[in-house]
Structure 1
């Protein structure tokens, strides 16, 4: 008897709830629209977005997160198991919450009469609540689900991602709490509003911490894929907007190098999971049962 197989009842408990799929489908168009504006025409955010973002590099970094988020929520809408997407919800809730608070703190900087502002405000005031509620409901339902034995993320990758994630959370805290002081040290020009916006972006480092703590292939695989999307777009943005760096283009290339290094670690993690999964499958066939 194959004791590693998840039971029917457990599989049912681990399913993605209909309300979760609806939330995902509703959010995706907003994220895609924001990506198109902030990444493809970052110099026109004052006319097309909820507020004018300067320099354009900041808009493009935010846009990279938007497309990564759209990719994530498309996968949520089509996922078979809650365990495959669960780790993505805490970082999303933190990101949206910080931008909601930022909106209140810098209310006068936004284009209140623009339709994009209504979308922005509605998203960041409502999304944290809905995301948290959805995550709690799904997690409670899936609590009794048994996850079969599976490959795990290689330990060196876990350590690097964990340390990176903690560092990003420290940066996020500094930018949010002391936007003037920490923002003044940033490699390109930021205002208190853009500093806190970048804080929300760096707060997504929580995903790396969760990946390092959990490490189970089925639970971290999607998060690594999402990071691949975001980091690739950020690296491209940094090179394209290298002139936005106060210290000159050289600083832009150095920053891009750091982003590419993290992307390399994420890629190694994905390759490691794939190889361990293939090895486990071979052992399962040799043993005459599924692993």
Structure 2
């Protein structure tokens, strides 16, 4: 983007049209993939880019896509850039890891149209996300919204630690998938282990931004996406519980981490939303008094 245009958006907090169009392009693919993986698990081998066994892993990938739908819908419809800015890094990491996994395990994929689409998306999305980050980098004014809730530092650091545990587990799983095969809560292959690793890495990269930005409005959409995703992951585990090997500690550890994350993220969202509503009511009363 020319330097003049970059200066033109500095501090405006607006989302550039090309970034909205990126959301328009990605949303249909996320919807289709989530629909196949969650609603048609028995047809994954025929309709998706690769057969995923057991189906629980495919449903968890679908749950991650549902979170992506919530996020990119936010990119498309939100009026303020800072509300979705912090999602770019997690999406970049997730898409990059799946792109690498595709290259490492190309022999596991089905040579069909879905694989062509999958390959194109994961070969290009990291670069498109990086371009969006560069184009928008000066748009966020970095100041609290008119009615803002600031996440307390202890809460922010707690969430950074919770997300860091998930991300450390995910990246370790991605780098050394063989170490998790045979000990995870259900059967894995190197490709499905790396896929789960990419999914687990998401939350830590979301929460890490709280080190430098504790505005609730910067995380409101992202936490809605995470809560949707976590809820559907837990649902996937319940639906696929027959494939879970509950005698393995990793099964219970994974569920415990999900429940902890759901409680922490949900609790923060409820607390922050209540504070924002109280601030809004106080503002309305102040206007009424002045009138």
Q: TM-score, normalised by structure 1?
A: 0.88
CA distance in structure 2 between the aligned counterparts of 1:38 and 1:204, rounded to whole angstroms: 19
How far, CA to CA, are the matches of 2:76 and 2:229 in structure 1?
19
The equivalent of 1:98 in structure 2 is 97
> How far apart in 2 are the matches of 1:92 and 1:81?
19
Is the CA contact (8 Å cut-off) linking 1:103 and 1:121 kept in structure 2? Answer: yes
Conserved 8 A contact 1:242-1:249: no
Kindly indicate whether the alpha-carbon contact (under 8 Å) linking 1:96 and 1:128 is maintained by their aligned counterparts in 2: yes
Partner of 2:126: 128
For the residues of structure 1 that align with 2:206 and 2:84, how far apart are their CA atoms?
A: 12
TM-fit CA distance, 1:46 = 1.2
1:193 aligns with 2:200: no
The Cα of 1:198 is off from its aligned counterpart by: 0.8
Q: Is 2:85 the counterpart of 1:81?
A: no
Which residue number corresponds to residue 139 of structure 1? 137
Q: Distance in 1 between matches of 2:71 and 2:47?
A: 25
- Kept in 2, the 8 Å contact 1:242–1:248? The answer is no
Cα deviation, residue 254, structure 1: 6.7
Q: Distance in 2 between the 1:117 and 1:10 partners? A: 38
In structure 1, the residue matched to 2:206 is 207
1:271 Cα deviation from its structure 2 partner: 1.2
User: Is residue 287 of structure 2 the alignment partner of residue 269 of structure 1?
Assistant: no
After superposition, the Cα gap between the structure-2 partners of 1:228 and 1:168, relative to the gap in structure 1 and judged at 3 Å, is same
Residue 145 of structure 1, CA deviation: 6.2
Q: 1:162, 1:208 within 8 Å by CA — same for their partners in 2?
A: yes
What RMSD, in angstroms, separates the aligned Cα atoms of the two structures?
2.5
Deviations 1:23-53 (A, max 9, x none): 0011000001000111112232211100001
In structure 2, do the counterparts of structure 1 residues 34 and 259 end up closer, same or farther at CA, with 3 Å as the change threshold?
A: same
TM-score (norm 2): 0.88
Stretches of structure 1 that go unaligned for 5 or more consecutive residues are: 1-8
* Residue 19, structure 1, aligned to residue 18, structure 2: yes
